[in-house]
Amino acid sequence: MAKIAIVYFSGYGHTAKQAECVQAGALSVPGTTVEMLRIDQEGNLSEGAFEQITAADAVIYGSPTYMGGPAWQFKKFADASSKPWFTQAWKNKLAAGFTTSASTNGDKANTINYFFTFSQQHSQIWIGLGLMPMNAKANSHEDTNWTAGFAGALGISPSDANPDEIRKGDAESARQLGIRVAEFAPRISS
């Protein structure tokens, strides 16, 4: 049984769509429960969300990449987590992350690297995507990890695409991240 919290911000719905894919993957692993904790436009979580994170076995962080890093709303959440940090309340929980942005590169790695650093401030255990890159001529955005990131699930959401146009490969990569976390979390928490 794994309890997973997905903590994410989304300005225009693309990261929210990715979060739903992570959630679907996690829920496909029997016995898993998922709390979807969306940071609002003011950078706040609903009441009780911090307690839900503290009760979880694993926390998956998500944010769009804005100006080469996580959105400020995510950073506001991160700064607000200094209280559980002080008591290391999230220590030894599994952590993972996902991000999407309009450009192929778009400096998404900075956002994932921020999540990693943030998780280490909380003494969490980082888990990456675990999928080989699909980088041959025959590959396309239909394939998992076609963006070839190992540290987290990445997505490319073209500037004129709506969230429902999420690429099949990005949706499946996010789903696989959810599965991986859900499968590993019970091993860590037992």
**Helices within 28-100 (DSSP H only):** 49-55, 72-80, 82-86
Which one of residues 6, 10, 70, 118 is an interface residue with ligand FMN (CB under 6 A)?
A: 10
Is residue 42 near ligand FMN by the rule CB under 6 A?
no
Is residue 173 near ligand FMN by the rule CB under 6 A?
no
Is residue 65 near ligand FMN by the rule CB under 6 A?
yes
Shortest Å, Cβ 182 to ligand FMN:
23
Shortest Å, Cβ 73 to ligand FMN:
10
Report whether 39 contacts 7 (CB < 8 A): yes
Which one of residues 1, 11, 88, 187 is an interface residue with ligand FMN (CB under 6 A)?
A: 11
Is residue 31 near ligand FMN by the rule CB under 6 A?
no
Is residue 15 near ligand FMN by the rule CB under 6 A?
yes
Number of chain positions touching ligand FMN (CB under 6 A): 19
Instruction: Encode the chain in three state secondary structure.
Output: CCEEEEEEECCCCHHHHHHHHHHHHHHCCCCCEEEEEEECCCCCCCCCHHHHHHHCCEEEEEEEEECCEECHHHHHHHHHCHHHHHCCCCCCCEEEEEEEECCCCCCHHHHHHHHHHHHHHCCCEECCCCCCCCCCCCCCCCCCCCCCCCCCEEEECCCCCCHHHCCHHHHHHHHHHHHHHHHHHHHHHC
Q: Which positions from 83 to 102 touch ligand FMN by CB under 6 A, shown as an x/- string?
A: -----------------xxx
Which one of residues 40, 48, 68, 162 is an interface residue with ligand FMN (CB under 6 A)?
A: 68
Shortest Å, Cβ 174 to ligand FMN:
12
- Residues forming the site for ligand FMN (CB under 6 A): 10-15, 64-68, 100-103, 106-107, 157, 159
